Structures are given as C-alpha cells and as structure tokens.
Amino acid sequence: MKLLVTGGAGFIGSAFIRLALQSPEDLTLGNIDALTYAGNLENLASVSADPRYTFFKADIADAAAVEAVVASFQPEAIVHFAAESHVDRSIHSPEPVIRTNFNGTFTLLEAARRHKTPRFVHVSTDEVYGSIDEPHEADEHYPLRASSPYSASKAGSDLLALSYFTTYKMNVSVTRASNNYGPYQFPEKLIPLMIANALDGKHLPVYGDGMQIRDWLYVDDHCRAIRAVLDSGRAGEVYNIGGSRALPNIEVVQRILAATGQPESLIQYVTDRPGHDRRYAITSDKIERETGWKPQVEFEAGLSETVGWYRGNAGWIANVRSGAYREFYDKNYGGR
C-alpha cells in the first residue's frame, strides 16, 4: 500500500502515521505538511528514520506543489487530515481557514482526479452538524448547520469531496469525528490547554457557563476508525466517529484539576465564544455496523494517559508555546 497522508505533522495525522508504521505492514507512507504553527516534526521523531516514510514540505492549497508530490509519489490512497483546525483561530482570522480547508481540499481532489488515485479519505468533524438539542443525535443524514468559519469550511469541503464521487466516480469517503484528545495535541484546544495551564498553576479559562457538551474520542481510537474506513468504507459515504463519552466542559476541567492535583480555584469563567455550539452529539452506528470498529479507550484511562504524557513532556510544551503562541493567547484570552 502506498499511502499519502496530508497534515501528518499535526496532532491526529502524526498519531495516524505512528500507528501505521508501528505495524510491520508492507507500507510506503508519504506525508505532505506545510508545518504551520500546528505542524511539528517532533511529533514524528519516532518514525522519521523509517525507510518506509517520506516527508514532503508543501502547502496543500498550492496546486503546483501538490501536483509535484502526487505525480512523483503516485499514491494508491490519500488520507486527508491537513486543516486549520481551531474554532477560536477561525473566528479571529477566517481567511487561512477557508484557504486551507476548502481550497486545499479542492487542490488535493483535483490532483487525485488527474492521477486516478484509487482511494481518498477526507477527514472531517461532527461540528458540521452544528449544535444539537437533547436528546437528539446526528446520523450521517442529519442537516449541516455549521456555526463557525472552521465548521463551515469543513462542511463545504465535505460536500466538495462527496461531489467528486457523484460527478467523477472517485472512490471518496468522508469521516466526521467528535472531539479528540491525547498526547501531542497543540495546547489551544480544551484538554491540552487546561492540562498545560494546570501543570503551570495558571488560570483555566472556561467559556460561558461551562455546560457545553462535547463527546470525547481518544486519538488512537479515531485513527483506528479512519483506517477501518480506508480499508472497508464505501465510496460516496460519510461515517460518523464518536467516542460515546459526552461530558460538560466544566466536568472535563474538574477532572483535569483532580488529575494534576490542582485546586478548583484555578477555574476562571470568561466571556463566551461567539456562536458557541452548546452540544455536539452523533451516533456511530454506521461505522460500527459496517466495519466492526468501536472505541476501545475509556475516557478515564485516556485522560490519565494524556495528563501523564504532558507531565513527562514539558520540553515539547515549552517548544510549541514559543513566541507566536503567546500572541494568540493574548489575542484570544486578553480582556475576555
């Protein structure tokens, strides 16, 4: 199998690559990544010397660069992770989000069409369904009601990817996962930000009343689900991937404080995020029925593993929290 991954230096893409190369499988794996603030080759240190692995530094929205990689590598499958992935950043600066998430997906689909790439998996999010009232859960036919520039860009790119199945009969599947957590996640998303702040004894900024609900999925469970879809998902189909663990944000934060031995007085309620989705909820019946995949990692075990990882990797946190991170932090949290 000759597999081309995009965004493999990020949180989920790097976990996917590490898992794929852990197996002795006959695999040639290429990774296209532009190394934005979220892309970090340290995440791939354990596999960088593997002869089955090649890194291509390229921007997926640069058609000539993508063409050069796809023409030389000739993948049998593309698994597309690369994205601007953070809602708060998409609120402050939507332009790079639309460029990478929509135009970048278009550029990749076009290269795959020209080179007749046999398989394309587009990695997306449950956020495309928008906020869902109790007691409903979205299946794959639920209407798309994206709230942020991030989720709108993902909804648009999902539809574009599916149109390449309908129009050009390309073998495309789309996955929509719930909120991921685990080692190597950039400390701007809820769980790694709160762990990093708690370990430093800093305030934990909770948006609004903290009663928003997210469904937590351990990153390796997500990667196993993507692999299942790559291997046996059907063309033109969408697969939801949920963690089956819905929790209000404040409970997640309290568990992080307990796991790091810090007091609840570190919690600071701050002004809510504009357009904040109250609740995400999906059903993963389809992927479970069709591929046999199920999440394996309980939230308690996954969170304890994750806190342990951040505790043991202070150098990684310090590196990714250098200058540009400070600017984002001040812009997002200053005066909130």
- Dist CA 239 CA 126 (whole Å): 10
Q: Which of 31, 33, 70, 77 binds ligand NAD (CB under 6 A)?
A: 33
Q: Which does 177 bind (CB under 5 to 8 A by kind): ligand NAD, ligand TYD, none?
A: ligand NAD
- Of these residues, 59, 88, 126, 288, which one is catalytic? 126
- Dist CA 162 CA 77 (whole Å): 16
Q: In degrees, to the nearest 5, what angle opens at C-alpha 53 toward C-alphas 4 and 110?
A: 15
Q: Is 127 a catalytic residue?
A: yes
| Nearest-approach distance from CB 273 to ligand NAD, in angstroms | 15
Determine contact, residues 69/49, Cβ cutoff 8 Å. Answer: no
Residue whose Cβ sits closest to ligand NAD: 10
- Dist CA 247 CA 250 (whole Å): 8
| Residue 82 burial by Cβ neighbours in a 10 Å radius (0-12, 13-18, 19+) | buried
Q: Which of 52, 189, 202, 203 binds ligand TYD (CB under 6 A)?
A: 189
Binding mask 43-82 for ligand TYD (x = CB under 6 A): ----------------------------------------
Q: Which does 226 bind (CB under 5 to 8 A by kind): ligand NAD, ligand TYD, none?
A: none
Is beta strand 238-241 parallel, antiparallel or unpaired with respect to 204-207? Answer: unpaired
Determine contact, residues 278/212, Cβ cutoff 8 Å. Answer: yes
Q: Which of 3, 4, 5, 7 binds ligand NAD (CB under 6 A)?
A: 7
Q: Which does 173 bind (CB under 5 to 8 A by kind): ligand TYD, ligand NAD, none?
A: none
- Find how far residue 33's CA is from the centre of its chain: 14
Tokens representing residue 118 in the block = 């046999």
Q: Interface residues with ligand TYD (CB under 6 A)?
A: 87, 127, 179, 189-190, 193, 205-207, 212, 214, 249, 273
